[in-house]
Amino acid sequence: MSEPGIEESGRDDTTTPPWFRMKAVFVHLYTASGAVLALLMLVAAFQGEAVKALWLMFFSLLIDSTDGLLARRFRVSEALPSIDGALLDNIVDYMTYVLAPMVLLWSEGYLPEGNAGIVLASLPLLASSYQFCRVDAKTDDHFFLGFPSYFNVVAFYAIVFGPSPGTLAAVLVVCSFLVFVPIRYVYPTRTVIFRRISLTLTALWLASYAAILWQMPDPNPLILAFSVVYLFYYFGLSLYLSAKMLEARRLEEQPEG
């Protein structure tokens, strides 16, 4: 999930210069293009083209990683205060991060057969519905609160590594549960602590994602290894920072003397 920097404003759209509004319109269209990618992911999934669907997820990740920067750069909240860009972003992210990946895993047979597979696919949908409507899903100090519904990443590794349906089912259950656990997860483009190294490693991870897809079905083991190591970095840093903040809060609440 990203944050396009769109907030409510008291300005009227008609009071802003046309060129200023036009820039904001293009930024919103850029964000909304993710919805078209979600549709194409579903088409690819039903056509049995899993790698094509993953490429479309890759492009949706690129859009989601950059639309917030563009929105803040072009001050879209001032240019089009009547458009809720954060809501638009959440709608698109739900489709590209959750709905399309679950349909892909189900249609490609990575989930158990029958009703069990449908139930497992439904868990991320339900949990993420809660995640995306929480007003505190993103903290004031730029963390995600609860697992940020990265089910597109789960789908990517499921297709790359081909785990058993039982293993994948366990991963989906755990991730869905973690949505409700108030752990702070790093927001790579905005979390201040370790921001430079997080941005660098995230960019390299995106590059490794593309390289793995390009080399499918036999990706380079070293690239695969780096891709997995990045996950350990991301979740390890998130847990470490969450523990540090929890400890700091506990010390602040202790009575003096």
Full pLDDT tens readout for the chain, 257 residues: 555 444 444 445 555 677 778 888 898 999 999 999 999 999 999 999 999 999 999 999 999 999 888 888 888 888 788 888 889 999 999 999 999 999 999 999 999 989 999 999 999 999 999 999 999 999 989 999 999 999 999 999 999 999 999 999 999 999 999 999 999 999 998 899 999 999 999 999 999 999 999 999 999 999 999 999 999 999 999 999 999 988 878 877 777 65
Q: Quote the tokens at residue 33.
A: 């293009």
Is 5 among the domain residues? Answer: no
In a domain, 30, yes or no: yes
User: Does residue 1 belong to any structural domain of this protein?
Assistant: no
> Does the residue 3 lie in any domain?
no
Residues 99-103: contacts with CB under 8 Å, at least 24 apart: 99/38, 99/125, 100/38, 100/41, 100/42, 100/45, 100/53, 100/57, 100/152, 101/41, 101/57, 101/151, 101/152, 101/154, 101/155, 102/151, 102/155, 103/41, 103/42, 103/45, 103/46
Quote the pTM value: 0.88
Lookup: tokens for 118: 């449908």
Q: Tell me the C-alpha distance between 157 and 163, whole Å.
A: 9
**How many helices (H) does the chain have, and how many strands (E)?**
10, 2
Q: Could you tell me if 9 and 81 are in contact, meaning their C-beta atoms sit under 8 angstroms apart?
A: yes
Q: Which pLDDT value is given to residue 72?
A: 86
Q: Which of 231, 47, 222, 218 is nearest to 154 (CA)?
A: 231
**Domain residues for 194?**
13-253
Cis peptide before 4 (omega within 30 of 0): no
Q: Per the domain annotation, does 121 fall within a domain?
A: yes
Residue 162 to residue 105: CA distance in whole angstroms: 11
pLDDT tens digits, one per residue of 184-210: 999 998 899 999 999 999 999 999 999
Q: Which two tokens stand for residue 83?
A: 């458009």
Say how many domains are in the chain. 1
Closest CA to 213 of 6, 49, 23: 49
Residue 82 lies in a domain: yes
